[in-house]
Amino acid sequence: MLRFRPNRTARALAMVGTLVLAFAMASCASGEKDRSPSLDAGPSPHPLEFEFEGLGLGMTKEAVVDAWGPPSFETALSIEYANRGDYTNIKLLFKSVPVSKNIQPEAARALGDDRPFEFLTAIVLIPSEPRSKSELRPELVSLFGKPLADAGIVEGRNCRAPLCETFRPAECALLQVLWEAAVPGSEGPERAASLSYILAPDALITEVPRPDWTSIRGQVAPSPPLELKTRLASLRTGDNGARLEEIVEVMGPPNLVLKDGAGLSALYYFWLNNAFVKLSLAEGTLRSITFPKIGPGDATIPKS
């Protein structure tokens, strides 16, 4: 996978640290020949994945500890490293997945070990010497563009300007920055209190094997369109289900196509607020539609 390394100015951001952005690959080489051109949403407009000092969002907890060593503190679904590099504290958050639901090939344990697997979904950095907002924010905008203003992201992640802003360092990653007064309780200059790099959507962990993440195409929009349910309701399922051409006309090209076996395939549409739609096909005919409810704290698929 190609990797982008920040320039000298970006590396000077002590609070951001050393980061590596992995560009999206055009598609799986094995599936390119038999994929219809109408299904290709085009290249992702951003680098696809995010890594921080050897940690990739979506890694197993075991792989994280192998890379960084034993943590300073551990609780359910999180571990912490104190005084690491330029940070007073680094907190890593994980998503729990039962063994029976796991689809990630890198997650494996001895037979009979039924502990849930845990996958890295967020890296929270508390800098030792926070940068001022007036200095840091323009650099973040230069690197990642203007903060996202989508209501589904702002409300769903409870990150509202001016105290909190959400940037997009990669196609499937968000950067949430909390700003605070340099002197608590004062109205003085603001500085970055914390930076949180977040896997988005984290539905990737339970829906797509990690080796296939590089096959994601097109833009992963912040949240679903208001008319999504209306579009889905217009698609027939079953023996007389909608054909592939109808699906693409209604939904547009998917973000990902996975082939499950002879004549079976799944079309995925993802959004940054963790919503997704899965359209299951057999011999080019739509058999079923899956779009799960989103948990508390996340934006939901909007009502039509």
Each residue of 6-65: pLDDT tens digit? 433 333 333 443 333 333 333 333 444 444 536 899 999 999 888 999 999 999 999 999
Measured between alpha carbons, how far is 170 from 21 in angstroms, rounded to an integer?
7
As a whole number of angstroms, the distance between CA 220 and CA 44 comes to: 8
The H or E element containing residue 94 is strand 87-97
pLDDT (tens digit per residue) in 260-283: 877 789 999 999 999 999 999 998
Per-residue pLDDT of the chain (304 residues; tens, 9 = 90+): 323 334 333 333 334 433 333 333 333 334 444 445 368 999 999 998 889 999 999 999 999 999 999 999 999 899 999 999 999 999 999 999 999 999 999 998 888 899 999 999 999 999 999 999 999 999 999 999 999 999 888 888 889 989 999 999 999 999 999 999 877 666 768 999 999 999 999 999 999 999 999 999 999 999 999 999 999 999 999 999 999 999 999 999 999 999 987 778 999 999 999 999 999 999 889 999 998 765 444 444 444 3
Of residues 100, 186, 179, 116, the one with CA closest to residue 147: 179
User: Can you give the three-state secondary structure of 194-250, one letter per residue?
Assistant: EEEEEECCCCHHHHCCHHHHHHCCCCCECCCCCCHHHHHHCCCCCCCCCEHHHHHHH
Distance of alpha carbon 101 from alpha carbon 107, whole angstroms = 11
Q: What is the DSSP letter of 298?
A: S
What is the Cα gyration radius of the chain?
Answer: 20
